[in-house]
Chain A
């Protein structure tokens, strides 16, 4: 069984440029998460989807970040425009169902560097 797939793995952009990340969760997993992980810290939730519905986006900086999960499968996370402080690893994860009591499977992440 394939795990969570993310692309690209690395991205270097100049500030004020747009950037997009893509995630394909494990087949059959209803819940999809986007996390941001800063160096030396734990993952911080940006947004969580139950199927195609965003049910928790309280930590998403909505002025510059957007996300979508069309058809409840793949998801994209976009930043426009990027700022220096957005440099981090963006992790996508999926779980069989919603809630905090299901194992989350993480993708390899996208390391974003904003110069």
Chain B
């Protein structure tokens, strides 16, 4: 099947707190999981990705974890800043791995 579910749809945090966004996918053969950030009126841009041969990847304040057994992966943002406010999309390949299915997005608000 082709399904990527993303939660929550909206997340509001205080500056300095952590934010966690979760996604589940349906195809156990999926092997690549990118996260995109889209600021208002701008294009989606890749911020971090993970492949199925690792369980965690970190880049400064951003980390992604992958649980292949449960078929879910999460984005973790620590020490949030107002400029982190944006819509975040997870994605996963469909059955066969020929196209990317995007989640519905999480609108993150970081309050100063």
Q: Which residues of A contact B (CB under 8 A)?
A: 4, 40-45, 48, 55-56, 91, 98-109
Contact = CB atoms under 8 A, between A and B. Distances in A.
Contacts of B31: 101
Contact of A42 (B34, B97, B102): B102
Contact of B43 (A42, A103, A107): A107
Given A100-B93, A100-B94, A45 B44 contact: no
B46 A103 contact: yes
A48 B42 CA distance: 22
The dominant DSSP class at the A interface is loop
B105 A45 contact: no
Contacts of A45: 99-100
20 contacts: A4-B43, A41-B104, A42-B104, A42-B105, A43-B44, A43-B89, A44-B102, A45-B100, A56-B99, A100-B30, A100-B93, A101-B31, A101-B32, A101-B51, A102-B32, A104-B100, A105-B46, A106-B43, A106-B44, A109-B43
